[in-house]
Amino acid sequence: MEKMEKKVVQEMAEVKQKNQVREIIKGIWERPLALIGFIVITIFLLTALFAPLLVPHNPYSMDLPNRHLPPMSQVTRTVVDYTQEDPDLMFTEEEVTYVLGTDHGGRCILSRVIMGARLSLMIGVVVVVIRFVLGVPLGLLAGFSGGRFTDSLIMRIADGFVVFPDLLLALGIMAVRGPGIENIFFALAVTGWTGVARITRAETLSLRERDFVQASRALGATKGRILFRHILPNAAAPLLVMATLGLAGPILGEAALSFLGLGAQPPQISWGRMIAQARSQSPIIRGRWWQMTFPGLAIFFVVMGFNLLGDGLRDILDPRMKGGG
């Protein structure tokens, strides 16, 4: 009898998850802004995934005679082929077009924007994953404890992190640990796990008194099973919205840290690093606007895409928003 009840509960949960996926897909399709955000994010994710195949030129190769070229510049470039034994055949000329111009090192900006998508988006995804790995278990534990010592301890620790502004705390961590991608992951993750923990705790406090949780307790389910098989799946909707909206924050944070020289280091390419390098060359004063504009536009469109998609998911999954619509 108990096995049959568990099987029925599991089948009902699977049906609910399938219906929720269909609801999300249908909701995105019916909301133009959410659909635009989804398309923008998909384009950037595919660009990052296939970046080595999409770049028109080597993003790391310098061409000093052709530096600071404006967009749509066409130049003749000498190429050296070291596989040729005949010296007369080693040097050839080719016509190249720099669609978005070149930077102070003669590197193709379009190629660097495409390749920079990999690092910038990876930072956003990895930081959000770390935040959820830290925040979700702590939020579940605090919410299930419900006002006891464990709940108070976790929330007071979270309050200690909230006291400091995120960027200021990240700057302090980077100043101590030094620049580098691994340190960026650590600094941005440490500053953002508290929001995840608070949302998870609030959902857990609301769900722990529901009938299905009480039924699981009566059937003798362990605390871990209740938390991860019953409460967490039902708290997934607000966490999904938070994850989507939260992906923009680390990308902006990395851009800010790289702008200050504490982010990605050469030869790594990120949009923030490109803006920092362009700033050192006084591009606006010297009329080289393209060197800062295009990586800045990439950041703008990615952040806009995540925000539009996150707002759409909130409208789809939040019952209060449905009622208000």
Domains and CATH numbers, the chain: 31-68+102-324 (1.10.3720.10)
91: enclosing H helix or E strand? strand 91-98
CB-based contact 184:257 (threshold 8 Å): yes
**Which has more pLDDT, 247 or 237?**
247
SS3 78: strand
The whole-angstrom separation of Cα 316 and Cα 321 is: 8
Residues in the chain: 325
113 within 8 A of 295, measured Cβ to Cβ? yes
Q: How many helices (H) and strands (E) does the chain have?
A: 17, 2
How far, in Å, CA of 36 to CA of 25, rounded? 13
Classify residue 125 as exposed, middle or buried by CB count within 10 Å of its CB (0-12, 13-18, 19+). middle
Strand pairing class (73-80; 91-98): antiparallel
User: Among 4-18, 171-185, 257-271, which stretch is predicted with the lowest mean pLDDT?
Assistant: 4-18
User: What's the mean pLDDT when you consider all of the chain?
Assistant: 81
Sign of the four-CA dihedral 49, 123, 254, 195: positive
Whether omega for the bond prior to residue 71 falls within 30 degrees of 0, making it cis, is no
pLDDT at residue 9, rounded to an integer: 47
- What whole-number distance in Å separates Cα of residue 302 and Cα of residue 104? 25
Angle separating helix axes 109-145 and 248-259, nearest 10 degrees: 120
Residue 297: pLDDT band by 50, 70, 90 thresholds?
Answer: very high
Percentage, residues of the chain above pLDDT 90: 18
For residue 325, name the pLDDT band (cuts at 50, 70, 90): very low
Q: 32-89: per-residue pLDDT in tens?
A: 998 999 999 999 999 999 999 999 988 888 878 888 888 988 887 766 655 666 666 6
Q: What is the pLDDT of residue 324?
A: 43
pLDDT at 109 (0 to 100): 93
* Average pLDDT rounded to a whole number, residues 147-163: 83
273 burial type by CB count under 10 A (0-12 exposed, 13-18 middle, 19+ buried): buried
Query: Which letter does DSSP use for residue 64 in this model?
Result: G
- pLDDT digit string, tens, across residues 202-214: 888 888 777 767 6
